[in-house]
Amino acid sequence: MVVLILEKVPIGLKGELSRWMIELKSGVFVGKVTARVRDLLWEKVKKESQGNPGILLWSAQCEQGYKIEFWGCPSRIPTFWEGLQLMTKPLKP
């Protein structure tokens, strides 16, 4: 399973992603695609998102059962702790 969470998605990119995945909520896409299609869609997102943040999650054979990739500057930051990938929300100054 693949989950894409995008902010401020251009209409054309939404249309392209909806050919392969279901849009559950604005900017949240879910689907079951091959690793190759997942990687190609992620490259397209990074190229056409105009620098807007995005998160890609997919099923993987690891302790957590999934992996995460980020693009842009999301509101939460990935933190690696003893082999686990956790999310950290930065403190405001």
- Across 7-83, the runs of DSSP E, i.e. the strands, are 22-25, 28-31, 54-59, 66-71, 77-81
pLDDT score at 3: 98
For the cut 90, the answer to whether the pLDDT of residue 31 exceeds it is yes
Cα(55)–Cα(3) distance, rounded to whole angstroms?
Answer: 8
Task: State whether CATH 3.30.540.10 applies to domain 2-88.
Answer: no
| Whether pTM exceeds 0.85 | no
Domain ranges of the chain: 2-88
For residue range 48-93, list pLDDT tens digits in order: 988 888 999 999 998 889 999 988 876 777 888 888 888 888 887 7
The CA-atom distances, in angstroms, between 71 and each of 4, 18, 24 are: 11, 19, 20
For residue range 8-17, list pLDDT tens digits in order: 889 999 999 9
Give the orientation angle of helix 11-18 with respect to helix 35-48, to 10 degrees: 170
